[in-house]
Amino acid sequence: MKVIIPLAGKGTRLRPHTHVVPKPMLKVAGRPVMSYVMDDVQALGNVEQVVYITGHLKEKAEAFARSAYNIPSIFIEQDVQDGTAGAIARARDYIDSPVLIIFVDTIFDADLSILKDSTDDGIIWTKEVEDYQRFGVVVTDENEHMTRIVEKPKTPISKRANIGLYYIRNWQLLLEGVAHVLTTAPNKGEWYLTDAFQYMIDKGAKIKVVDVEGWYDAGQLETLLDTNRVMLEKGRARTPAQLGEGATIIEPVYIEDGCVIEHATVGPNVSLGTGSIVRQSTVRDTVAGERVTITNASLHDCMIGDDVLIEGVAGSLNVGDHSQLRGEG
């Protein structure tokens, strides 16, 4: 089996952080988002090759993937952001067996072992949501096979959101579908992989729809902070044995060894990177990078990059790397 991982997106909803860090490499609970997914890929044991589709900050994405995972890999640049079907088209020369396609700006709880016994042409994983108007939702027949995907429906035709995780056993028909999509007029400059799935279905393919137990989005600030909370609650929390005088920790938190917390309250739902310092402050519901210094501040619902100084500030912040923010508090 081959695995295709598109990584080319610019992550505009997570700026300024994605100006310098690829979106899938932003951290929640002390780990890059893509590493949660890649652990599942590595555990499959039957992956012949991973094809990464890179673009924005491609050197950083490639360096991380090569260093973190011992799976045969190839890296292909998507030099023009022409959509998800465009991404898969660039991998066509390497698709010669069933493929698992994963968009790694989310984390999921899914049983991938079902791939071994699947006889359908493919599987698409979904998650039932209440705010279905925000998503592409999957419509099924009585046998739980996909009939179509509807983007941002106004009526509740389905609440099963497409989460960006697909297994395609009939890879020949997938390639045919992608090629067909690229002959059609693009939608705002992009071609969509879901249209290739629709082509497959129209040609008689059976694509099974399976719900995941959990799906955690890390594609924008609010959802990334919530995903950080969930990962901490699901076992990623850690507190060093040594902190500092007057330190109060409200679990769950993820605090790297060597952080200094003095006369401060940290937590709940805080991730704090290596070399960071918190003094005379309160911090909750925050993801902070490495070598962050927070003094005389009261912070909540923040995303803070590396090498940041925050002093005398209260409130919710979104601060990129190498920044300084001083207030009068």
For each of the domains in the chain, give its residue range(s) and CATH number, in order of start: 2-221 (3.90.550.10), 237-326 (2.160.10.10)
Query: Is residue 329 very low, low, confident or very high in pLDDT (cuts 50, 70, 90)?
Result: low
Average pLDDT over residues 87-100: 91
Cβ atoms of 243 and 226 within 8 Å: the answer is: no
- In this structure, the number of other CB atoms found within 10 A of the CB of residue 261 comes to 27
For the cut 80, the answer to whether the pLDDT of residue 73 exceeds it is yes
pLDDT (average), residues 205-223: 87
Contact 106, 121 (CB under 8 A): no
Q: Is the pLDDT of residue 250 over 90?
A: yes
Q: State CA 113 to chain mean position distance.
A: 21
Share of the chain above pLDDT 70, in %: 99
Q: Which of residues 188 and 161 earns the better pLDDT score? A: 161
So what's the pLDDT on residue 319? 94
pLDDT, averaged across the chain: 88
pLDDT at 101 over 60: yes
What would the mean pLDDT of 93-114 be, rounded to a whole number? 87
* Distance in angstroms (rounded) separating the CA atoms of residues 321 and 273: 13
Q: What are the phi and psi torsion angles at 165 (to 5°)?
A: -130, 120
More reliable by pLDDT, 46 or 286: 286
The rounded Cα 136 to chain-centroid distance in angstroms is 17
Cα–Cα dist 101/216, whole Å: 17
Where residue 189 falls among pLDDT bands split at 50, 70, 90?
Answer: confident
| Closest to 21 (Cα-Cα) out of 35, 10, 5, 37 | 10
pLDDT of amino acid 157: 84
DSSP H/E element including 49: strand 49-54
Distances (CA, A) of 328 to 16, 95, 296, 311: 24, 58, 10, 8
Q: Is the pLDDT of residue 51 over 60?
A: yes
Name the packing angle between helices 33-44 and 221-231 (round to 10°). 50
* Helix runs in the chain, H state only: 33-44, 58-68, 84-90, 171-181, 193-202, 221-231
Mean pLDDT (whole number) for 74-87: 86
**CA 169 and chain centroid, separation:** 24
What pLDDT digit, counting tens, does each position of 251-296 carry?
999 999 889 999 999 989 999 999 999 999 999 999 999 999 999 9
Which whole number is the average pLDDT over 296-316? 95
Over residues 162-176, mean pLDDT: 92
pLDDT value at position 199? Answer: 93
The span from the CA of 238 to the CA of 235, in Å, is: 9
Both structure tokens of 102: 């994963």
| Per-residue pLDDT at 106 | 82
Query: Given a cut of 90, is residue 315 above it in pLDDT?
Result: yes
Q: What is the pLDDT of residues 117-168, one digit of tens each?
A: 888 999 999 988 887 777 788 888 889 999 988 877 788 788 888 888 999 9
